[in-house]
Amino acid sequence: MRRYIFRRLLNTVLTLFFIIGTNFFLFRLMPGAPIKAMARSQKLSPSTVKYLENLYGLDKSLFEQFFIYVKNCLTFDMGISFKFSTEVTPLLFERMGNTLILLVASTLLAIVLGILAGLWAGWHRGKFIDLSLLSTSLFFWSMPTFWICMIFMALFAGILPIGGMRDLMLENPTHWESFVDLLKHIALPTIVMTITYMGQNLLITRNEVTNILTQDYIATARAKGLSRGRITFKHVLRNASLPLLSSASLSIAFLLAGALQTEIIFSWPGIGRLLYEATLTRDYPVLQGSFYLLSLGVLLTNFITDIAYKYIDPRVEY
Amino acid sequence: MTTLILQLKLQWENQRRFWNLFQQNYLGMVGLLMLTICVFVALFCPWLSPFDPTEPTMEFLEGPSSLHFFGTDQMGRDLFSRILYGTKISMMVGITAALIAVLIGTSIGLISGYFGGKIGEGLMRFTDMFLVLPYLPLMIILTAILGQNQIILITVIGVTSWPSMARIIRSEVLSIKQRAFVERARAIGASHFHIILKHILPNVMPLISANVVLIIPVAIISESTLSFIGLGDPTTVSWGSILNDSLNNNAIMMEQWWFYLPPGLAIVFLSLGFSLIGHALDEIANPKLRKEHS
């Protein structure tokens, strides 16, 4: 176990450096001199260029720059935003928190509902309900997330709030009132993300049910009168937990992509929305910082799921 | 001469067997029909569209009529024509990006599966690194930095979509490598290059073609997402950019459904067509899946 954790940790650290490296070189690949691109102006006096180069450390050698950059990344010193003229890091953490609320709510819902729907489809394999659940999830799967958001926005406009995270008109709300307000605002983004992510949990659970039901020992047990609930809990869920967990760890990037689009459309003040706004205004420090923080989040979650996987299934090697 | 005829006959037989299998797959046939419609539209869009898709007029944001089937956008351009032209862009970007992804994924999968050892392990670690990267933020950053045009868009989508492909090909190569004919070829003294090209590649080909078709819809959706975010090529007509226009002009609140429903449906239609064909091909190429269904 210790060896396994060490290996995974080494891998995570290597990937982290890969990401930092990508981030570093990407922003130096920008067409045009980086200073001009960053200042967003072509007409700079040589002395200003020199001053800015000194400020950003661009007059040092590439190797030295990279060293400083790595140090800054590890200490979360992401520079100053062009647009907000404040430090990037506190901004990132605030927005990351909002994204996490959305992600946790929709992931939990998608797993629970996905398993329930999968069980339902699996027990009625080949019947109408099974086929309609399968085709619905395939249909939603081929829909771009941002378009589902737009459809839901059109459908629920006027019933649920379609933007932002809280109602600014609410005066001196009690804790309960602001909680209800948050629930109302999170409803639409969560529904959309749950729908897009539910499908694969449904498929995994359904396949596990059909797989289990064709096993000889289950046929015997059923003939002897083993109840559906017992089969579900003792056999299906236990067997499905591994593929569910591994697919969850593989789909973190997918979930993030969904969160990003949902945040853009429903103006959820998360890190995806921040990344989007930074793209529009070419706010490079924010762009770089949010990509770094997002990747770091993915890496950490992956590391944790890998350890959890090993804990559930000790046979896993490498 | 006779061997050539025999070879051709064998190939013909193989193709007919494949076609028979494919025909039995109901959903695959539906996908093929959907794709045929899209190819037809993409090829003949200049003749099918009633208006120039980029020509602004004074008829802003008009609803559907017998003149403008899907109404007009904020610059008075005919949305029906724009959607027809969008088919061409989506297919072109989707197919080229998928080909790039497959080229990278297949080479990495082949090399890492065939040679194994340190090279194989190293390549797989590299693949794993790519696999966990948040791909949409990566694409956004790449297009934001490198600039917005069609070629960069295609390259960015292609370069970020290969890792899953590499893993699938690798595991298939690992099992083919164990088969007797590869060992026989090696015993005769065939070079690595020869074995990979003549013995391994033909055997993974069905899997590769199934995966190309499965990557295309993902690439199409990526293209429309990036265009929707406003990172597409501003000079081309794309479904994603129509949706971007509709969001920027607040079409949802104005209840201009003709502005945001048809482009989205077009994306679903095309990507669903490819997915259905891809799943059918996957079932034929992958004996495990075929057995389960019959």
pLDDT at residue number B294: 38
Three-class DSSP category at A260: helix
Structure confidence at residue A32 as a pLDDT band (50, 70, 90): low
CA distances from A255 to A68, A241, B52, B136, B252 (A): 32, 19, 39, 10, 25
- Tell me, what's the pLDDT at A35? 65
A chain contacts of residue B133, beta-carbon cutoff 8 Å = 19, 253, 295, 298
* pLDDT tens-digit readout, A136-161: 887 887 789 999 999 999 999 888 88
- Could you report the predicted ipTM of this complex, rounded to two decimals? 0.86
Q: Which residues of chain B have pLDDT under 70?
A: 1, 287-294
Q: For residues A275 and A267, give the distance between their C-alpha atoms in angstroms, rounded to a whole number.
A: 12
Q: What is the mean pLDDT of residues A224-241?
A: 81
Beta bridge partners of B72: B78
| Residues of chain B contacting residue A142, judged by C-beta atoms under 8 Å apart | 217, 221, 268, 271-272, 275
State the Cα–Cα distance between residues B9 and B30, nearest whole angstrom: 29
The pLDDT of residue B63 is 79
pLDDT in tens, A283-317: 888 888 999 999 999 899 888 888 888 888 887 76
Cα separation of B241 and B261, whole Å? Answer: 13
Q: A295 to chain B, minimum CA–CA distance in Å?
A: 6
Distance CA B113, CA B259 (A): 48
> Cα(A281)–Cα(A287) distance, rounded to whole angstroms?
10
Distance from CA of B51 to the nearest CA of A (A): 26
Does the structure show a pLDDT above 70 at A318? no
Question: Each residue of A254-292: pLDDT tens digit?
Answer: 889 999 999 999 999 999 999 999 888 878 888 889 999
The distance of B180 to chain A (nearest Cα, Å) reads: 28
Q: Would the CB atoms of B268 and A257 count as touching at under 8 Å?
A: no
pLDDT tens-digit series, residues A176-222: 888 888 888 999 999 999 998 888 889 888 888 888 888 888 888 88
Residues A63-104 have pLDDT tens digits of 888 888 888 888 888 888 877 878 888 999 999 999 999 999
Which residue from A142, A253, A287 is facing B144, i.e. has the nearest CB?
Answer: A287
Residue B26 has a pLDDT of 85
> Are A143 and B268 a contacting pair at CB < 8 A?
yes
DSSP string covering chain B, please?
A: -HHHHHHHHHHHHHHHHHHHHHHH-HHHHHHHHHHHHHHHHHHHHHHH-SS-TT---S-TTPPP-SSSTT-B-TT--BHHHHHHHHHHHHHHHHHHHHHHHHHHHHHHHHHHHHH-HHHHHHHHHHHHHHHHS-HHHHHHHHHHHH--SHHHHHHHHHHHS-HHHHHHHHHHHHHHHTSHHHHHHHHHT--HHHIIIIIIHHHHHHHHHHHHHHHHHHHHHHHHHHHHHT-S-TTS--HHHHHHHHHHTTTTTTT-HHHHHHHHHHHHHHHHHHHHHHHHHHHHH-HHHHHHH-
Q: What is the pLDDT of residue B293?
A: 44
Which residue in the set A31, A157, A261 is minimally distant from B252, CB to CB?
Answer: A157
Which of B90, B141, B243 would you mutate first to test chain A, the one with the most A CBs within 10 A?
B141
Under a CB-based contact definition with an 8 Å cutoff, are residues B137 and B187 in contact?
no
The residue to which tokens 């164990």 are assigned: B178
H or E, element range at A75: none
Give A233→chain B minimum CA distance, Å.
25
pLDDT above 70: residue A38: no
Contact partners, residue B125, CB within 8 Å, separation at least 6: A11, A14
Q: Residue holding tokens 């609320």?
A: A101
Asked if residues A205 and A118 have their Cβ atoms less than 8 Å apart, the reply is: yes
